[in-house]
Amino acid sequence: MDWLGFISSDGKLFGIQWNVWKVVGWLGNAVFFSRFMVQWYATERKRQVVVPPAFWWLSLVGSLLLLAYAVFYRRDSVFIFAYAFTWIPYIRNLIIHRRHLAAHLACPKCAQDCAPTARFCSACGARVGAAST
């Protein structure tokens, strides 16, 4: 019996025979796809091209889920190789982002977060950095 076309008589949902690894694979696809939505939203919000840290986190988690699916369920060398090394630039970009945030300077006058290379605060105009002491 067909329940509104979603579940078939053999227990398949949307024509897919589900198991734990199928859920991991589909979850990996969903997480990996969601990174595009996050990047699009951030870009639209700022009206300039932006790649937020959430993009890199979603890329990392999605690719690791897909790698696990490829290694433990599919056992397909092409699929495994496609995701075996994608985590490297994702982690590197997260490290670079963290270092960049740590290098920001606090304005001594208004406590605004200023870029590491800033000489003056964009909010109040006060001198920041080594020259401010």
Q: Is residue 16 part of a domain?
A: yes
Residue 99 lies in a domain: no
- pLDDT tens digit sequence for 70-107: 999 999 999 999 999 999 999 999 999 999 888 888 88
Is 118 within the bounds of a domain? Answer: no
Give the per-residue pLDDT at 60. 97
Predicted local distance difference test score (pLDDT) of residue 53: 95
In a domain, 45, yes or no: yes
- Asked if the model's pLDDT at residue 132 lies above 60, the reply is no
Q: Is residue 125 part of a domain?
A: no
Question: What's the pLDDT score for residue 125?
Answer: 87
- Scanning the chain, the segments in alpha helix (DSSP H) are 20-46, 53-69, 77-84, 87-103
- Look up residue 44 and give its two tokens: 């639209």
What is the per-residue pLDDT for 16? 77
Q: Residues 109-130: what's their mean pLDDT?
A: 84
Q: 120 lies in a domain?
A: no
Cα torsion 124, 126, 130, 132: sign: negative
**Model confidence over 48-80: pLDDT tens digits?**
999 999 999 999 999 999 999 999 999 999 999
- Number of domains making up the chain: 1
Per mean pLDDT, which range of 36-45, 54-63, 107-116 is the poorest? 107-116
Residue 70 lies in a domain: yes
| Measured distance CA(38)–CA(19) in Å, rounded | 29
User: Distance between CA 133 and CA 130 in Å, rounded?
Assistant: 6
Q: What domain range includes position 75?
A: 1-85
Question: Contact 108/126 with Cβ under 8 angstroms?
Answer: yes
Note the pLDDT of residue 61. 97
Report the half-sphere exposure of 19 (CA within 13 A, side-chain side): 6
| pLDDT for the residue 66 | 95
| Domain presence at residue 133 | no
